[in-house]
Structure 1
Amino acid sequence: MAPLYSPAAQLLQTWNVSPPPFAGGDTTTVLPSTFFDLIFMHFHPVQRVFFYDFPHSSHHFISSELPSLKHSLSLTLSRFYPLAGRLLMRAGGKPELVFSAGDSVTVTIAVSSDDFHELSSDHAREMSRFHPLLPKLIEKEVLAIQVTIFPNSGICIGTTMHHGVGDGATYSHFMKTWSAVHRFGELAGFSMVLPPFFDRSEVKDDRGLERLFMDELEEFKGGDGLDKWDLHGCNDVVLVTFVFGRERMEKMKKKTLSNCSVYALACGYMWSCLVKARRETSKKTVYFGFVTGCRARIEPALPTNYFGNCLGICCVEAKRTEVVKEKRLAAAEAIWEVIKGLEEGVMDGADKWVRNVYKYASERAMTVAGSPKLGVYDVEFGWGKPKKVEIVSIERTGAVSLTESRDGEGGIEAGLALPRHEMEEFVTCFFNGFMEEIGGI
């Protein structure tokens, strides 16, 4: 393949990495989509970048690390083989994830001339600088990987995954398995993590959601859909990381009336700042959306290592005047009320999930990508813990990305992508105005 060039990256080579041949010879495996998968079938792919310090030359990485990285990926795909398959949309039927012997994951290797340390920092960085670090999905692929070398500085592993085949728990399970196999070898690495659980028959559809969601996805196809969230291609979009340390979270918690979780506090604070920054005073009602893990909450419960999507859609609506109040964390408390209600029945209102997604897109609601529970900073290939992890696809989904804190002290990192002028307003709200009203934290 001929090298491609951009102002910041040079693509060196592309490989197709397959799982080792199965003992039984040629096989085809079909995983039918569940109603949980259908919710996300039309979402933009989820794109993450993992930055690792690696103060060595490109030649050193290519000769000493890259062969093992490809081999460990192949071994990992022996367990996660559907990720090497193709997502097929059957005419008149539901999508199916189909793996046949010889299917593969596309892996590219590139060298970047950009500033590794600046890209992996917290301050405002142009979203366009992340695009050369991420691969595109082609020919019905569901996963693609790019490894980018920053000579004598670091390594970036960029992944693009179709949201219709798996959620954050499935993705992090795959990445933790791959990094463990690369770091410790096949036997030791596999012994550290459970194999994926593929049995889709365990997902019960007593409410007829599969047929409903397929009809609704067909209904929404061709309209504005999710595009009102999409900032890709807009001028001057920047990504900023906001850090909620444990001490800051404790101070915020004392200001609430209902002992909110740290998740609700971080989400509510970001939501409030965004509503204030947009200055859309004509809006009477504002919206916030997040997902909740359903594996342990449905009947029968699914194992933690279930492969696929298993998320419920949660919706929060509040008066704009309440969300922007400066002496109470009303936004966090509104989110916390919805979270508490999940214990009574996570599937209540499930028939509205797809419609609510499109409604919230039309309102440009803030949503959430990722979760502090996924433990993405535990994805360690042997070069030390990631220096930084970003969800770049929040540029297209109107989401704030959440991860656990890098320092392991119980805090939360929140990433946000906005046009620069809007981000400047947001930063002012975050650091100066609203902060001072809750005690100068």
Structure 2
Amino acid sequence: MAPEPQNRVTVLEQCQVSPRPPPSAGKPRSLPLTFYDLAFWEVPHVQRLFFYDNADLLGGSEFLLRELPLFEKSMAVALHHFYPLAGKLPCRMPTDAAPEIVFSDGDSVRLTVAVGNDDFDYLASDHARDTARLRPLLPPLLRNGGSQDVFAIQLTVFPLAGICIGTTLHHAVCDGSSYVHFMKTWAAIHRCGYSGGESMVVEALPLFDRSFVRDNDGLREVFLSDHRAYAAAEGEKGIHECHCHLAGGTTELATFRFTDRLLRWLGRQVESETSARRCSPYALACGAMWAGIVRARGRSASFGFVTGCKPRASPPVPANYFGNCLGLCRVEEETEAKQGWLDAVTASAAAIWRAIEGLAEEGRVFRDARGWVRLVREYASARAVTVAGSPKLGVYAATDLGAPWGRPRKVEIVSVERTGALALSESGRDGDGGIEVGLALPRVEMEAFRAFYGDLLVAAE
């Protein structure tokens, strides 16, 4: 393990980046939160890290002089298209109105530039790392009076190693699809230049029109009522206290890779041991992780995941819609700690796959939607296993910054430390294929999980 530095980062500069040019007068300045957004109102902020190799980078002064102006300009142009990210949300659920994202002329995204004093290779690796070493790379969302920022970025320079881009996003603003849409746009503008020709590299502009989200069952009012009732009962405590179930002691974050070969082997096990005729790579990877977590904890745990609702809504929501558009799904079965490890893996994967197959029924994802706010809280307090991210987002390919950075070496969703979720993405290694999964656990549980994963790899040989 790399030695721990005393001062992990040194802040060089903090600036505010506004959309450039500002959004036109015809663009909406306020976006009401839909019921999809409200389902994630009190979920902890989503925090990601993108590590980019660059051994030629000399240090902070060089970065400030040569690279920072380029990042600021491309970011400002990208924010022109995604200006709600520079807006504000109320800090608390209003008692007499529905919350809105409000953008005012002059609003901006806070950009922090720092120099990292830690070991870049250690931080950007797969092995278990103390999350306390990663947190300094993440920017906070600042509050001012009764409003708060919804998005912030930090660029941390590691001399002769590379940079880390850290982002913090309020989940009520948008889901992973819209977030990656912004990051892909920013990366494309940065990669190809921003001298007025960005329309050539922006594949599809974001759509902010809330009329595309139909709410025939009045879910928005149900969710507003639920949030207000919880706020009245909890006072200052709030759900964030419930979500920090990994707080206390040392928490470690590690990445576990499911190559195409390993997934094929798991698929054969599931098919031979259960009635499942086939099983998706997503269900196989999640099932194995779920079984391993149960084994590491020594007790059963519930499992939940989200599914994209843009094609499931009636009528369908356009793919470039900006906001949240996810449905919450629970797996009815639980994985038992007493099962043999291979039996647990196959049973877990099959249970997830049955739940996914059930979503093919029209309207199935919305059948229990009135309970989504309650489900988020129940799963948080019970340390249920949930999922963040998706291999379908293609986050590695989307965030190619071009020379001298290229694609990120590693992408992490560090906020799983607070939520306990599995962080899924496509494998970032060229030619590897498969899925990579980030997992945060207390150190003792992480050791047990790593032993489980090692047994899985040996059995698949």
Using structure 1 for the length normalisation, give the TM-score. 0.93
Specify which of 115, 119, 131 is matched with residue 111 of structure 1.
115
Does the alignment pair 1:312 with 2:334? Answer: no
Aligned to 2:419: 397
Aligned to 1:430: 453
Give the direction of change, closer, same or farther, for the CA distance of 1:325–1:215 in structure 2 (3 Å limit).
farther
Give the direction of change, closer, same or farther, for the CA distance of 1:255–1:11 in structure 2 (3 Å limit).
same
Aligned to 2:297: 278
State the shift of 1:376 in Å: 1.0
- Secondary structure at 2:136's aligned position in 1? helix
Matches within 5 A, 1:360-375: 360-375=379-394
Does the alignment pair 1:300 with 2:315? Answer: yes
Aligned to 1:354: 373
Q: Please say which of residues 190-199 and 65-74 is displaced more in the overlay.
A: 190-199
- Tell me which amino acid in the other structure corresponds to 2:34: T
- Tell me which amino acid in the other structure corresponds to 2:152: A
Give the direction of change, closer, same or farther, for the CA distance of 1:363–1:224 in structure 2 (3 Å limit).
farther
Specify which of 205, 209, 226 is matched with residue 216 of structure 1.
226
The separation in 1 between residues aligned to 2:441 and 2:96, in whole angstroms, is: 38
Give the direction of change, closer, same or farther, for the CA distance of 1:118–1:247 in structure 2 (3 Å limit).
same
Aligned to 1:159: 167
Aligned to 1:79: 81
Aligned to 1:44: 44
State the shift of 1:100 in Å: 0.9
Aligned to 1:253: 267
Aligned to 1:236: 250
Give the direction of change, closer, same or farther, for the CA distance of 1:233–1:358 in structure 2 (3 Å limit).
closer
- Secondary structure at 1:13's aligned position in 2? strand
CA deviation profile, 1:86-137 (whole Å, cap 9, x unmatched): 0135441111001011000000100011000111000011100111101000
Specify which of 110, 125, 130 is matched with residue 126 of structure 1.
130
Give the direction of change, closer, same or farther, for the CA distance of 1:105–1:26 in structure 2 (3 Å limit).
farther
- Tell me which amino acid in the other structure corresponds to 1:420: R
The separation in 2 between residues aligned to 1:399 and 1:319, in whole angstroms, is: 16
State the shift of 1:360 in Å: 1.4
CA deviation profile, 1:262-285 (whole Å, cap 9, x unmatched): 0000000000000011112xx5xx
- Tell me which amino acid in the other structure corresponds to 1:173: H
- Tell me which amino acid in the other structure corresponds to 1:195: L
Which residues of structure 1 form unaligned runs of 5+? none
Native 8 Å contact 1:272 1:324 kept in 2 = no
Does the alignment pair 1:11 with 2:33? Answer: no
The separation in 1 between residues aligned to 2:289 and 2:342, in whole angstroms, is: 15
State the shift of 1:215 in Å: 1.1
Identical positions, percent:
47
- Tell me which amino acid in the other structure corresponds to 2:199: F
The separation in 2 between residues aligned to 1:423 and 1:23, in whole angstroms, is: 47
Give the direction of change, closer, same or farther, for the CA distance of 1:325–1:354 in structure 2 (3 Å limit).
farther
CA deviation profile, 1:356-383 (whole Å, cap 9, x unmatched): 1112122210111111111110201121
Residues paired across the two proteins, number: 430
The separation in 2 between residues aligned to 1:26 and 1:298, in whole angstroms, is: 28
Aligned to 2:356: 339
Specify which of 180, 193, 203 is matched with residue 188 of structure 2.
180
State the shift of 1:28 in Å: 6.5
Give the direction of change, closer, same or farther, for the CA distance of 1:327–1:132 in structure 2 (3 Å limit).
closer
Aligned to 1:67: 69
- Tell me which amino acid in the other structure corresponds to 2:407: K
State the shift of 1:233 in Å: 4.5
The separation in 2 between residues aligned to 1:143 and 1:194, in whole angstroms, is: 21
The separation in 1 between residues aligned to 2:457 and 2:24, in whole angstroms, is: 61
Specify which of 187, 191, 210 is matched with residue 200 of structure 2.
191
The separation in 1 between residues aligned to 2:31 and 2:149, in whole angstroms, is: 15
Give the direction of change, closer, same or farther, for the CA distance of 1:18–1:241 in structure 2 (3 Å limit).
same
- Tell me which amino acid in the other structure corresponds to 1:142: V
The separation in 2 between residues aligned to 1:38 and 1:195, in whole angstroms, is: 24
The separation in 2 between residues aligned to 1:232 and 1:238, in whole angstroms, is: 10
Using structure 2 for the length normalisation, give the TM-score. 0.89
Native 8 Å contact 1:226 1:397 kept in 2 = no
- Secondary structure at 1:240's aligned position in 2? strand
Give the direction of change, closer, same or farther, for the CA distance of 1:232–1:66 in structure 2 (3 Å limit).
farther
